[in-house]
Structure 1
Amino acid sequence: MPTVQGDTRRSILDTAQRIMARKGFSAVGINEVLTAAGVPKGSFYHFFGSKDAFGEAMIRAYFTDYLADMDRILAEPGQTSAERLTHYWQNWRETQSIDECQGKCLAVKLGAEVSDLSEAMRLALKEGTTAIVERLERTISAGVEDGSLTIDASARDTAQALYDMWLGASVMVKIHRDIGPLDTTMTVTRQLLHL
């Protein structure tokens, strides 16, 4: 059972994810997050030593939740590996709306920004994105084994290329204010997996 302190810490992190997914890391002050979370200012330094430590904790919490959702999608019973991957990409498309992603696109929003600001945040992003690629690689390998997809490169290279492509398309959606890049990426994904 979560503690009051654990609930408060999580509330701060969840609130920050929602705000920073819209505004970025540097544009958001701690007071804005604490006010939105309904938490007194003194509480922040009880949980986090600095804004960078807070940013690292937020990124790690984001990936913990993201990977749990991904694991759930990629383990759905009664589906082939190709169907599970397709569901994952469809979920990606649905959560990467043009104007509001409700904290679901934190890696897209903060990736380039915080990688230049903080080594700890960069490493948290690297660990999180590497874990995503590893899950994609395992599912692609399983798809080759169950015959639901075929690939022309290694499972690792295919997984990395697909993740890079989807991440880039998500950035292009923000630039163009149009969901089209994700639709194009879905088409290319199907081609790469021979679906």
Structure 2
Amino acid sequence: MSDRNATDATKKRLLDHGVALMLRNGYHGTGLAEVLAAAKVPKGSFYYYFPSKEEFGAQAVEHYIAPFIRRLSEHLAAADRGGLDALAAYFNEMIGELEANDFAGGCLLGNLMGEIGGGSASAREALKRAVDRYRDLLAKGLARAQAEGAARQDREARALADMLVDGWQGALLRMKVERSAAPLRAFVDEMLLGYCRA
């Protein structure tokens, strides 16, 4: 393995473990020593990969959202379903995984928005970029559903997508409190397939 590949693999391992720990313990409850130990990276090496914990948090946000963007894109690219059905399939897949994991963690974006979103400029920017990327992809699916006649056309797709982001985050918070998928299923049925449907 080249030095560059080894460096990239180590950085990815730090981010993987950092995301998992932040989902469980929050940003402030996750220490750098804990991340290094979980990733089996020598103490003192952290600053080779990240200039600060704040920058680590910002990169963890990008690292966290990437697979969700990829999966949502895959659902939207499926030729056998319309835009609204693709979005429903994506959210239902997320619900199944959250149920299988006993509702642990929720969403790192929502967790961090509440914990550090107002305090750190770099964290706020990273969170905004991640949410905007996610929202824009939802809007793409909704615009397609509008063109197909499946989604309401009296609201812009982007405005509907903003509402979906906010509704999903609220449903995730209720899920954590109630230890139930009911708020998530209500989100899909009432907001996505109810309010957004033509």
TM-score (norm 1): 0.91
Alignment of 1:42-81 (within 5 A): 42-81=44-83
CA distance, structure 2, for counterparts of residue 151 and residue 89 of structure 1: 22
1:139 aligns with 2:137: no
CA distance, structure 1, for counterparts of residue 78 and residue 59 of structure 2: 29
- Is this contact kept in 1: 2:11–2:49, CA < 8 A? yes
Root-mean-square deviation over aligned CA pairs: 1.9
CA distance, structure 2, for counterparts of residue 26 and residue 74 of structure 1: 36
How many angstroms does 1:154 deviate by?
A: 1.8
Residues 57-116 of structure 1 deviation map (CA, whole Å, 9 limit, x = unaligned): 111111223212221122122211121111121123223345425xx7211222211213
Map of 2:25 onto structure 1: 23
Can you give the 5+ residue segments of structure 2 that lack an aligned partner in the other structure?
none
Alignment of 1:153-192 (within 5 A): 153-188=155-190, 189-192=192-195
**Residues 170 and 58 of structure 1: is their aligned pair in 2 closer, same or farther, counting only changes over 3 Å?**
same
- Is this contact kept in 2: 1:173–1:180, CA < 8 A? yes
- Is this contact kept in 2: 1:95–1:105, CA < 8 A? no
How many angstroms does 1:151 deviate by?
A: 4.3
Counterpart of 1:89 (choices 88, 91, 99) is 91
1:149 aligns with 2:151: yes
What code does the residue aligned with 1:40 have?
A: P
Counterpart of 2:122 (choices 120, 141, 146) is 120
Quick check: 86-95 or 48-57, which moved more? 86-95
How many angstroms does 1:138 deviate by?
A: 1.3
How many angstroms does 1:186 deviate by?
A: 1.5
What code does the residue aligned with 1:113 have?
A: E
Can you give the 5+ residue segments of structure 1 that lack an aligned partner in the other structure?
none
1:193 aligns with 2:170: no
- Is this contact kept in 1: 2:142–2:161, CA < 8 A? yes
- Is this contact kept in 1: 2:14–2:35, CA < 8 A? yes
How many angstroms does 1:152 deviate by?
A: 3.9
**Residues 33 and 19 of structure 1: is their aligned pair in 2 closer, same or farther, counting only changes over 3 Å?**
same
How many angstroms does 1:26 deviate by?
A: 0.3
**Residues 55 and 118 of structure 1: is their aligned pair in 2 closer, same or farther, counting only changes over 3 Å?**
same
Identity of aligned residues (%): 27
How many angstroms does 1:42 deviate by?
A: 2.0
May I ask how many residue pairs the two structures share in their alignment?
A: 193
- Is this contact kept in 1: 2:104–2:176, CA < 8 A? no
How many angstroms does 1:34 deviate by?
A: 0.9
